[in-house]
Structures are given as structure tokens and as C-alpha cells.
Amino acid sequence: MMQFVHPRAGWRCLAAATLAVLALPVAHAAGYPDHPVTVVVPYPPGGGADIFGRAIANALQPGLKQTVLVENKPGAGGNIGMAYVARAKADGYTLGLGTIGTQTINQFLYSNMAFDPERDLVPIALVSTTPNVIAVSAKSPYKTVADVIKAAKQSPDKKLTYASPGIGSSVHLTGAYFEAMSGVTMLHVPFKGTSASLPAVAGGQVDLLFDNLPGALAQIKDGHLVRGVAVTSAQRDPSVPNLPTVAESGLPGFDVTAWFALYAPRNTPAPVVKQLIDAARSGLQSQVIATNFATMGAKPGTLFGDDLAAFERDERKKWGGLIKDKGITAQ
């Protein structure tokens, strides 16, 4: 039997439904997050990316008032993990720790990228910046950048080898940049993370280590297995004040700084993005973070949202040009 609905009642129902729909974005933002958030680190445990992934996860928790977990998904120079983030549901519960490699380098190395770093990921926060470092075995005869360049030029048939945590990392490109600036040719030996590359150099299987400073800092300070040669930033780093820069060691103008940043999938709601930016900004401004990062040879990031996107565009121009000039590929 058909039931009659009074017109006024119908309008009341329609109005209520309309208000409910209009309130959806607000309700979504207000209820976020109601369960743990995950930060995907696209590299193995133990290296610089893993360190900063866990740091930003902890830094987000007070602002989000929610647990933030870390999940390592390494492979293909970070592409596997960040592609996973790009494909994740755009609800703010799956974030990714992008790097100078995944966001500005890999697209010039890999012909089959499964995601577009500029189109498919929303910049949230620059988490940290840090120099890279050149190190050798504690038993190596090379003590300075000049020693390394001299050895490389004296034996072009037997190339010096340098280890990095993987093809396409900022560390790999630092080695390529070093070659270009010094006029030498070396052999790149990629490893699956710092936990594999550092022992190979310490054991003498590879001549040089190029790495993010935080990943090798403890071993460099200890000095029993590896010895620092130089940092790649324009200025010396306070965590290793006696370690000279590459620039002051004979290559003026040499300046490479690695960076790590937080991203969300494309189409993440604007209120959620804002909430993540606010939580990251607050966490990264804490004195605890500043102190902890300083002991690791790093600085907290100060770029968020659109400012981070603009910074990325400049980085792509720099590294894209080097990769093309050197003919570097991931294959």
C-alpha cells in the first residue's frame, strides 16, 4: 500500500539529507585520524631513510593524537614503496617518506616508473636535510679527497670502486657528481641499503663509501671499521666538526645535500592534508627533534606543502641535467 508523505515532511527529509552531504568533508576531517596511520619507508631498515621515517612518525603522533607506524617496503631505488603509497587509498592513513631519489632523481633513471612523483603524490613536509659523506676502510691508504682523486687518476685501467645504498639514490648521484667535478671515472657498486654497503667498505671489498651521514655516523665516530674523508655539504657538519668538506678539500663549489620528505596519495582531502602539515610542522619545530637530528648530522625541514613542491621542481632540474650529461641509467 502506498504511504502518503506530507510535503513539509518531504522537504524536511530533503533538507536533512542535503545538510548531511554538505557536512561529509567536515566530518571526515574532524574524525581523522580514528585509527593508526602508517608511514611507508621505501628503503631497508638501518639507513638514513629509515631513521628519518621513524623520526617523523614519532613527531606526527602528538599533533594527530594517534599512533603512527612505520613499514619498510624497499626495492627499485625506492620506487616500489612510493608506488605503493601512490596507489593507496587517499584517506590520510598511508603516507610515504620520499627522498631526493624517489622524488627528483628516479624519473630520469627508470623508463618504467609506476608513478609520477609530481602528479601522484601530495607534498606534506620536508622532514630533514643532511650531508652525504665519503668514507673509506680504517685500513685504507686514502686519507683525503686529494688522495682519492690522485689514486683514481693514476690507475684508470683499475678503477676505484665506490659503494652506495642503491642505484638512483642521492648517494649514487653524489658519486657521479664527484666524478664529474674531479674529472675521474670510478666504478659504482650498488648495495641494498647501508647495512650491506658499509661492511663491504670496512672489509676492503670496495674502496670508497658514499652514504647519507646519519647512516654511517656511528661507525665514522667509532673509527675502528671506517674512516671519514669528507662531507658533501657546503659547510662542515657540527656532528663531525673535524671532517672537512669536499669543497675545501680541493673541489670548490661542491655542494650536495640529501633530503627526506613526507607525502600523501593524490586526492587526499584538503582538510586532511592541512591536518598532516600542521602536525608535521609542530613536531619538526620541537627542541627534541632539533637536538636529536643535530646528533645525527641532520637538520629538521622547514618547507611544507606548496613550498616543498617548488623546492622539488628546482631539484629535478639540477639532477635531471647531471643524469643526462653522464648517461646514467638504472639498467
Statement to judge: residues 110 and 192 lie in one domain: no
Please state, in angstroms and rounded to a whole number, the distance separating the CA atoms of residues 100 and 103.
Answer: 5
Closest C-alpha among 100, 51, 104, 53 to residue 297? 51
Residue 70 grid cell: 612505520
Asked whether residue 31 is assigned to any structural domain, the reply reads no
Question: What's the pTM?
Answer: 0.78
Asked whether residue 210 is assigned to any structural domain, the reply reads yes
* Range among 38-47, 305-314, 322-331 rated most confident: 305-314
Statement to judge: residues 97 and 87 lie in one domain: yes
Asked whether residue 28 is assigned to any structural domain, the reply reads no
Statement to judge: residues 123 and 263 lie in one domain: yes
Considering 231, 265, 296, which residue would you say is the last residue of a domain? 231
Given this model, what pLDDT does residue 10 score? 38
Statement to judge: residues 311 and 286 lie in one domain: yes
Please state, in angstroms and rounded to a whole number, the distance separating the CA atoms of residues 123 and 159.
Answer: 40
Q: Does 20 score more than 60 pLDDT?
A: no
Share of the chain above pLDDT 70, in %: 90
Given this model, what pLDDT does residue 254 score? 93
Asked whether residue 22 is assigned to any structural domain, the reply reads no
- Classify strands 94-99 and 37-41 as parallel, antiparallel or unpaired: parallel
Mean pLDDT, range 106-118, rounded to an integer: 90
pLDDT tens for each residue of 189-199: 988 777 888 89
Statement to judge: residues 84 and 158 lie in one domain: no
Tally the domains of the chain: 2
Given this model, what pLDDT does residue 312 score? 95
CA dihedral 279, 281, 123, 235 (to 10 degrees): -150
Statement to judge: residues 119 and 151 lie in one domain: no
CATH code at position 227? 3.40.190.10
DSSP state of 77: G
Statement to judge: residues 72 and 220 lie in one domain: no
Domain that holds residue 63: 37-130+257-326
Asked whether residue 206 is assigned to any structural domain, the reply reads yes
Asked whether residue 187 is assigned to any structural domain, the reply reads yes
Mean pLDDT, range 257-267, rounded to an integer: 96
Residue 158 grid cell: 683499475
Statement to judge: residues 102 and 177 lie in one domain: no
Considering 213, 231, 249, which residue would you say is the last residue of a domain? 231
Considering 231, 266, 292, which residue would you say is the last residue of a domain? 231
For residues 48 and 23, which has the higher predicted lDDT (pLDDT)? 48
CATH code at position 83? 3.40.190.150
Asked whether residue 331 is assigned to any structural domain, the reply reads no
Please state, in angstroms and rounded to a whole number, the distance separating the CA atoms of residues 287 and 293.
Answer: 10
